[in-house]
Structure 1
Amino acid sequence: MTVVPPASGEPRRPDGPRNPGDAWVIAASGEKYWGRFGAAGLLAFDPARGILLQHRVSWSHFGGTWGLPGGALHEGESAIVGAIREAQEEAGVPDGAVRPRFTSVLDLGIWSYTTVIADVQVPFDPVISDPESVALEWVPIDEVDERPLHPGFAAAWPMLRALLEVRPVVVVDAANVVGSVPDGWWKDRAGAAARLRLRLEALVVPAEDLDLGGDEWFPEVSMVVEGQARDIDDEASTVAVVRAEAAGDDAIVAEVERRVADVRTVVVVTSDRELSERAERAGAVKVRSAGWVLQLLAAHG
């Protein structure tokens, strides 16, 4: 691998100090890739309008093609942070407008590119905010293939398009998960449930654990609470709290049925064997143990 300074045809930046990530990586075979620390792009998906595409200016790498807003990562920057930052710089994506659903990584060893697929939470109109774009458009899914696409995006698009139909949901048996760790939870069941909810906001699931494509998924989460844990506060959270009116197991099965009816790929977290069987009959594609989710949460802090 060779890293060389920017040359003609590089993505241009506003005047000012250059980030050390803004450089070409040259493979032994001669191919060049933009971003010393890799690169990332944002695939923003709005069900009503399609995906946000960028028409690349002619002097850029693969100029004249359509692709995703994105660019070189900064040193130590995560792909999600970098993809959203680049989309804000290039397309004016507002803070909080999108929620990541999954990532897809092209890893060439000497260089990697991460596509961050994100759902639009707050509709917005893109704004050309740097010289790298000729146009920014919301393109309906069925019309994407009609554009002259950037070669890398064109190669990935069939897989990405298929996964846009997949929306995993993790339904958590909170009593089972909390009760699997003897940390004094019985002294304050609502408080223990609240702590679990906070941790579940950062749940990241490897694609292989869901039998899905891509690399990492950021699923929707429903946490079912029962008994004294139903007193958990109503604090705003990305985790949906389902308060069981009677038996917790019945509420979990009902939540699975509701989510399946809403065309979701449902995974249930419980170590209860009988409940596991009921959840599978209700349509859950997988049942994972309390230890599984606790390991994932520990791995991501």
Structure 2
Amino acid sequence: MTVGDMRPPFNGPRDPGDAWALGPDGTKMWGRFGSAGLLVVDRARGVLLQHRAAWSHFGGTWGIPGGARHQGEAAVDAALRESHEEAAVPADALEPLLTHVLDLGFWTYTTAVAWTVRPFEPQITDAESLELAWVPVEEVGALPLHPKFAEAWPGLKPLLGRRPALVVDAANVIGARPDGWWRDRAGAARRLLGALAAAAESGLPAGLLGLGVHTAWPHAVVVLEGQAKEALAGNDLAGDAPRLEVARAAGSGDDEIVERVRALREGGTPVTVATSDRALRERVAALGARSIGAGALREALAHP
């Protein structure tokens, strides 16, 4: 369910999260621990929307499957659970793209956005939906939307079609901290790749990528050069990490980064380069990429 839903009577035990959160001004929002919903994007068919049951708050409008978070439940997990309960959305048919958080101080609503990796048909599995439909992105705004979804939609719409890219100047990022990396460049590169592999699962702060949402799952390209190229020998950390690509530069790492950025930008992908090298930052800026310092990336990886 979406923001501010009214609920029908319950006929059995429920989670402590299935209760009202009360704001300082008396405002009531459903979900003691906040709520979450899932915006599923099928790039061939559009987005999955729920025509909301008449008994719900703003009944008859269109929104996304969702509901109250359970006690101790992560927001994305709640969005996946609720969408499965309400629309039979299979979690294994999805890959994460971003999250958007509405924070009222006493209560939050998290919209998790995911791309489909295989087609599926949603099914109405409870009384909370009048209809479920794949709606082309350009037609969403013409529907009578739930007011809070209508507020979020203009900011979400331009982010749905392309996964942002993060290109990492591994030599510069590794060299930004004097932790003995010069004694074992391959080992230092392995540690960086391990941290990026973890971030590929959990996501990165979207502000790091210049996005006005909460969390994003970019396609990361890590450029290795010199001795660091041995980082994956016998230990392919990136092999099982989604959205993480390792590029071994044949020559200059900077030149490899510039060519990677050029190719991504020609495809229309928004690109952020992680490096503190001023000359490299100027080169990628000329291609339309933004950049962040090595320290900013290290901090984000250290505090997921």
- TM-score after normalising by structure 2: 0.86
2:299 matched to which residue of 1?
295
Greater CA drift, 99-108 or 291-300: 99-108
Greater CA drift, 289-298 or 137-146: 137-146
Question: How far 1:42 sits from its partner (Å)?
Answer: 0.9
Question: How far 1:187 sits from its partner (Å)?
Answer: 4.8
**Residue 265 (structure 1) aligned to one of 264, 270, 279:** 270
How many equivalent residue pairs? Answer: 291
2:211 matched to which residue of 1?
212
Distance (Å, rounded) in 1 between the aligned partners of 2:191 and 2:241: 12
> Does the Cα contact within 8 Å between 1:12 and 1:131 map onto a contact in 2?
no
Q: Is 1:43 the counterpart of 2:39 in the alignment?
A: yes
Encode CA deviations 1:201-239: one digit per residue, 9 max, x unaligned.
316444444443223322221111122332314422221
Shift of the 192–128 alpha-carbon distance from structure 1 to 2, 3 Å rule, reads: farther
Greater CA drift, 53-62 or 256-265: 53-62
1:196 matched to which residue of 2?
192
Distance (Å, rounded) in 2 between the aligned partners of 1:126 and 1:243: 42
2:229 matched to which residue of 1?
230
> Structure 1: which 5+ residue stretches go unaligned?
1-7
Shift of the 16–195 alpha-carbon distance from structure 1 to 2, 3 Å rule, reads: farther
Q: Which amino acid aligns with 1:197?
A: L
Shift of the 12–230 alpha-carbon distance from structure 1 to 2, 3 Å rule, reads: farther
Question: How far 1:186 sits from its partner (Å)?
Answer: 4.2
> Does the Cα contact within 8 Å between 1:11 and 1:132 map onto a contact in 2?
no
2:260 matched to which residue of 1?
255
SS of corresponding position for 2:57: coil
Encode CA deviations 1:87-117: one digit per residue, 9 max, x unaligned.
1222222233222222222222222211112
Distance (Å, rounded) in 1 between the aligned partners of 2:8 and 2:114: 23
User: What is the identity percentage for the equivalent residue pairs of Structure 1 and Structure 2?
Assistant: 53
**Residue 281 (structure 2) aligned to one of 258, 261, 276:** 276
Shift of the 278–9 alpha-carbon distance from structure 1 to 2, 3 Å rule, reads: closer
Q: Which amino acid aligns with 2:277?
A: D
Question: How far 1:10 sits from its partner (Å)?
Answer: 0.3
Shift of the 269–195 alpha-carbon distance from structure 1 to 2, 3 Å rule, reads: same
> Does the Cα contact within 8 Å between 2:48 and 2:133 map onto a contact in 1?
yes
The equivalences for 1:1-301 within 5 A come to 9-10=6-7, 16-27=12-23, 31-165=27-161, 167-201=163-197, 202=199, 204-231=203-230, 232=232, 233-234=235-236, 235-238=239-242, 239-284=244-289, 286-300=290-304
Distance (Å, rounded) in 1 between the aligned partners of 2:211 and 2:132: 30
- TM-score after normalising by structure 1: 0.87
Encode CA deviations 1:97-144: one digit per residue, 9 max, x unaligned.
222222222222222211112222333222323332232221111221
Distance (Å, rounded) in 2 between the aligned partners of 1:267 and 1:147: 35
Distance (Å, rounded) in 2 between the aligned partners of 1:211 and 1:175: 23
SS of corresponding position for 1:137: strand
Distance (Å, rounded) in 2 between the aligned partners of 1:25 and 1:199: 36
> Does the Cα contact within 8 Å between 2:208 and 2:292 map onto a contact in 1?
no
1:4 matched to which residue of 2?
none
Encode CA deviations 1:49-100: one digit per residue, 9 max, x unaligned.
1111112222233222211011101223222222122112222222332222
